[in-house]
Structure 1
Amino acid sequence: MRMRALAAALLVAVVAGCGAGEHPVEPAPSTSATVTPSLPTVTPPKPQARAIALSHLPANLRARVPQFAPAPPATTKVQLPTDGTAGWFSRIPTDQKVAFITIDDGWVKHPLALPLFQAADVPVTLFLQTNAIRSDPQYFAKLQAAGATIENHTITHPNLEGRSYAAQKREICGGADQLAGFYGRRPVLFRPPFGNHDRTTLKASHDCGMKAAFFWKETTNKGKVRFQEGPGVKPGDIILMHFRDRFPDDFTAVLQAIHKAGLTPAKLEDYIP
């Protein structure tokens, strides 16, 4: 009898061990887009990786992803305040032919974002709101592995302007701390919700370890880029996107606008001391 019980226990342990080693299947996001493609786990050389990523995109998207040369090394850094506040920028002052793609929030987790990032192979900065990503933080870990940099966009997305120092610090420090727990790196850049801020925002940002906070020069929605200062992306412009239902249209519209201007997407973090 004891031998039978021991054999049964061993069988249960083996079955449990197999189950623990498997990756659970994540439910598909609630979107009408194509289901998440199965991309290779081994990273091939970049030209081959781009071709593979393009092959996983719908045919109508492939031609809308321009190819860029690598961004030039950052030759200058912005000047940050020395008065205990974070810097504030809507454009990076540079003569280099670069622009910066930034994407906010994280509510919509579009299945084509990963192959689009891999096909475009350009730097992207994600300003993530922790309440928005909590349902599937692994989704953004995959984007991080594809080259995106994750920065801070608060916990609950409040309008910070006019709030107390304690309230603003709680949102900014808390967002940075949670993102560090999710992704192994504590953010050093910040975007206030709606772009609204006051001096208290910049003071709290600095005290939470944020070097700079950002506005933008172009916005994108439903596949259309809107310019604040006349047509065309200018060198150093910061472009705002969101994780929305029409993410492929927005992302390719931004890529095309940068390409049409003769610019290259660059890494925002490289220009911050």
Structure 2
Amino acid sequence: MPEIPGTTTTTRPTRTGRTRPRVASAVAAMSLAALALTGCATDRVSPSEARADALENPAGSTGGDGKAAKAGSAGRNAAGAKVPVDCEKTKCIALTFDGGPGKATPALLDILKKEKVHATFFLLGKNHVLKYPETVRRLAAEGHEVANHTWTHERLDTLDKDAIREELGRTQDAIAELTGRKPTLMRPPQGRTNDDVTAVSKELGLSQVLWSTTAKDFSTTDSALIAERTLDQAGRDGIILLHDIYDGTVPAVPAIITELKKRGYTLVTVTELLHPAQPVPGAVYDQ
């Protein structure tokens, strides 16, 4: 993405060890505006930058057509049924789950209900949304944020635009049929994105959400280890990635929530973490 005149940038390592530009929050409005106009997939916006943008330049929180994106993703909580947490003043962290729903998702929902926590669920269409329609309805009814994780978990950066549109669009339609709302958030499989993914995401009204914390729960069934890895990486404005389809994950969630609350965190959805910013279609959100 071209450098924005008059801004200062720093670099930080990515999860692959590379560096990428980060724009200071004082110029976050310019960064988001440029992203909306160019669709550049390599520029990423942190929750704190998005909030600063919304506070300093409300027009910067709109889509490329100048219209504000609708808050939330296919859930009552996400749609604004309750007053969002002010994460500028509150120590927030977002809890997200990929790959479901699955057979363990109802048990996870019981835990979240008991703890009075809402999460963001990035759902797979084929073999998940279609297999567990009642769970999808329950997710939305209980105020969780229902988001898109593609139809078959194909890496989007390896596909052409038509195939990307198929992967995301089919899941959009399947979720909307069950909940009455199309998601406004998506997570690309493996966190892989490019300009084509960004362009199609923008076309479909989807913001891209990455993560700052991963327990790699696909690699272990040890619930204590999953909790330890998650808590070791947890930080303010973080986005936790877990999977409700792996055997060790759901049993780890009570310990994760308990310890995060003990550390003073308020657990929120991704949209709440960004508030008062509204997710910008095509934008890539990462800590």
TM-score (norm: length of structure 2): 0.61
Which of 93, 101, 104 is residue 95 of structure 2 equivalent to? 101
2:142 counterpart of 1:146: yes
| Structure-1 residue corresponding to 2:161 | 165
Which of 195, 201, 208 is residue 213 of structure 1 equivalent to? 208
Q: Secondary structure at the match of 1:213?
A: strand
Distance 1:86 1:146 in 2: 35
Change (3 A) 1:226 1:157: farther
2:39 counterpart of 1:85: yes
- CA deviations 1:57-110 (Å, max 9, x no partner) are xxxxxxxxxxxxxxxxxxx99946222538875852264410001111115321
* Structure of higher CA gyration radius: 1
Distance 1:266 1:91 in 2: 15
| Structure-1 residue corresponding to 2:264 | 262
2:181 counterpart of 1:185: yes
Distance 1:263 1:186 in 2: 29
Distance 2:192 2:181 in 1: 25
2:108 counterpart of 1:113: yes
Equivalent pairs counted in the alignment come to 196
Gapped runs of 5+ residues in structure 1? 1-75
Change (3 A) 1:186 1:268: same
Contact 2:92 2:265 in 1 (8 A): yes
Distance 1:202 1:226 in 2: 33
Runs ≥4 residues deviating over 6 A? none
Shift of 1:128: 0.4
User: Percent identity among equivalent residues?
Assistant: 23
Change (3 A) 1:83 1:225: farther
| Structure-2 residue corresponding to 1:8 | none
TM-score (norm: length of structure 1): 0.63
Counterpart mapping for 1:47-58 below 5 A: none
| Structure-2 residue corresponding to 1:21 | none
Distance 1:108 1:247 in 2: 12
Distance 2:148 2:170 in 1: 9
Counterpart mapping for 1:242-253 below 5 A: 242-243=243-244, 244-253=246-255
Change (3 A) 1:89 1:139: farther
Shift of 1:269: 1.4
Distance 1:255 1:112 in 2: 15
Contact 1:130 1:154 in 2 (8 A): yes
Change (3 A) 1:261 1:199: farther
Which residue identity does 1:161 align to in structure 2? Answer: D
Distance 1:245 1:108 in 2: 10
Q: Secondary structure at the match of 1:200?
A: helix
| Structure-1 residue corresponding to 2:120 | 125
| Structure-1 residue corresponding to 2:10 | none
Q: What do you get for the CA RMSD once the two structures are aligned? A: 2.8
More helix by share: 2
Contact 2:101 2:132 in 1 (8 A): no
Q: Secondary structure at the match of 2:113?
A: helix
- CA deviations 1:38-73 (Å, max 9, x no partner) are xxxxxxxxxxxxxxxxxxxxxxxxxxxxxxxxxxxx
Gapped runs of 5+ residues in structure 2? 1-27, 49-86, 279-287
